[in-house]
Amino acid sequence: MSFPEASPRRFKRAILKLSGEALREPGSTDNISPEIVERIAREVRDALAPGDLQLGIVVGGGNFWRGAAASARGMDRATADYMGMLATVMNSLAIQGSLEHHGVSCVVQSAIEMKNVADTFIRRKAERHLDQGRVVIFAAGTGSPFFSTDTTAALRASEMGADVVFKATMVDGVYDSDPKKNPSAKRYARVNFHECISQQLKVMDSTAFSLCMDNHIPIVVFDLAPGGNVTRALRGEPIGTVVSSEETVVA
């Protein structure tokens, strides 16, 4: 799927991937900023207003816990990853509460069963919720250790038959090198999946890239911070970098 320069949306179903760290105010000791969560919910509501987009959301847990980092300090990796999955549930509930406050019907489905706080993930039930206009927030990762929430987003997009994955990050797209370390780094307007994998561009992990590549699902990488960017992205406006099977183009 190619993305036009004009604004009309060309997709029906999308997955929005949010990092857990993006929910924390920079420099704050609070794990979740209610103001940031509220802004995201408001922008999602505005994007859904036309009524022609079905949306799933996957959120990370890095504002509470990072399994890989804990494993590097000696903790059992599987245990550390399960703790990270629980962190994503807390973030998912926060987003659900804010979306509902803004009048958006939504449901949290968890890959780890926890009946008192979330529905258990069942693919066909998730599809029905999407068809009925509800936002589905996919919590607890894949339910298995050793997989990132980026891979979860790619997996759920593949299972749901999504047209696109939107990855909201702390940078305004994909660069050929780290723009914080290299002032001459070039940003791509569009970059090929194979190039992302071969050059190890650290926007998503290789498993997520491979899943999207195999299932022909483009990824749009954009900066979450500027106000309105979530709405612009979900409406299909040109933003960030598109990762797809098409030819690479430098911005």
Q: Is 145 annotated as belonging to a binding site? A: yes
The answer to whether the annotation marks 169 as part of a ligand binding site is yes
Nearest-10 crossing angle of helices 149-160, 123-131: 70
Is 66 labeled as ligand-binding?
yes
In DSSP terms, 106 is beta-bridged to 135
Task: Tell whether residue 33 is among the known ligand binding residues.
Answer: no
Residue 146 among known ligand-binding residues: yes
Which H or E run contains 40? helix 34-48
Beta bridge partners of 5: none
> What SS3 class is residue 71?
helix
Domain-wise residue ranges, the chain: 13-250
Largest CA distance in the chain: 51
- Nearest CA-CA partner of 15 in 54, 60, 63: 54
Q: In DSSP terms, which residues pair with 54 in a beta bridge?
A: 13
Q: Is 11 annotated as a binding residue?
A: no
Return the residue matching tokens 């590097």. 72
Rounded CA separation 206/185 (Å): 21
> Does 142 carry a binding-site annotation?
yes
The reply, when asked if residue 175 is annotated as ligand binding, is: yes
- CB within 8 Å of 32: residues ≥ 6 apart: 23, 24, 63, 90, 91, 94
pTM above 0.85, yes or no: yes
> Is 147 annotated in some ligand binding site?
yes
Is residue 209 a known part of a binding site?
A: no
Could you list the pLDDT tens digit for every one of the 251 residues in the chain? 455 444 456 789 999 999 999 899 888 889 999 999 999 999 999 999 988 899 999 999 999 988 888 888 899 999 999 999 999 999 999 999 999 999 999 999 999 999 999 999 999 999 999 999 999 999 999 999 999 999 999 999 999 999 999 999 988 999 988 888 898 999 999 999 999 988 888 788 889 999 999 999 999 999 999 999 999 999 999 999 999 988 888 87
Q: What fold characterizes domain 13-250?
A: Carbamate kinase (3.40.1160)
Ligand-binding site membership of 17 (annotated): yes
Residue 88 counted as an annotated binding residue: no
Q: Is 81 annotated as a binding residue?
A: yes
